Amino acid sequence: MGMMYTKFSSLATGGAIGDAIFFFCSGFTLFLGQERRFDNWYKRRISRIYPTVIAWAIVTAFFINDTYSIRECITKGGGWFIPCIMIYYIVIYFVRKLFKTKLWLAFITAGAFTLFYYYYTGSYYDISIYGEEGFRLIFFFLYMLLGAIVGQKYQNLKIKKPAIWLFTSLILFNILLLIRGRIDILLASFINVFTLIILLVICISFYACCNTEVFKKIYNSKPGLIIQFIGGLCLEIYVVQHAIITPKLNSIFPLNILIIFVAIVFAAYLLRCFAKLFLQTFQKEDYNWKEILKLI
């Protein structure tokens, strides 16, 4: 939504915080599931993601005047995120097989590889590391591993005053983003690495906040249904967002962000319904419209 921030566009991160939290949640939940044979396990990942991607390709071909080849649909149908998460699924499966009792070792190894890749390939020349696709495909795996570690060993994680930790780390993260664009490239590269650490703190403190009794009560109340609804649409939201985000409402900033976000969520829900309809069309059973249209 950077184009919608008007004069505050320097605060846009390309969704880095949301991406980090998503990968954290993915690693957390994947390590809670049953261990399966790889082909069956990966099939479940494909069946969750690609009906939505293919459905979106159909929608764009007929209504948005944009078409994908089969190759583009598989590799770019949801932007950089889709191939990234599909690769991560493969790696995390074998991490679980080989490092299940040594996840911290896997995390440290991945961190070392991230630093090596960053400096050896010259990725530090790109000030916006959250927009540089090559490096972005590497470092987000750290957050998936962190989620796996928490899911396996620290589900009841509690820290003192997690909201303060979260708020402070968010403020520091944005301050560092503002600073790095105004200083020498070498110093900026060290700040970039430090922002990756701050993102780890954000994920941990956010999880700790959500693990408090206050947040649990909110989640299990009626307002929590909204959280569940939006959370269940995270893939669809990611896929449809670029077709809806526009600077045309910038004159009413910040109200424009709320309006566009509501439009994105609504479009994401319609896409999920269409994806379910598409998937059920190729099954022998009758259409289950209750399943197709359900909100949560």
Mean pLDDT throughout 78-88? Answer: 85
DSSP class of residue 77 equals B
Q: What is the mean pLDDT of residues 280-287?
A: 91
pLDDT given at position 68: 66
In this prediction, residues 34-63 reach a mean pLDDT of 87
3-state class (DSSP) for residue 79: strand
Mean pLDDT across the chain, nearest whole number? 88
Residue 113: HSE in the Cβ half-sphere, 13 Å Cα cutoff: 13
| 32/21 Cα distance (integer angstroms) | 17
Give the pLDDT confidence of 199-239 residue by residue, as tens digits.
999 999 999 999 999 998 998 898 899 999 999 999 999 88
What is the model's pTM?
Answer: 0.89
Write down the pLDDT at residue 77. Answer: 66
Q: Phi-psi category of 67—alpha, beta or left, where left has phi over 0 and alpha has psi -120 to 50?
A: beta
Q: What is the largest CA-CA distance in the chain?
A: 63
pLDDT at position 133: 66
Query: Which H helix or E strand runs over 13?
Result: none
In the three-class reduction of DSSP (H, G, I as helix; E, B as strand; rest coil), residue 247 is classed as helix
Average pLDDT on 88-111 reads: 92
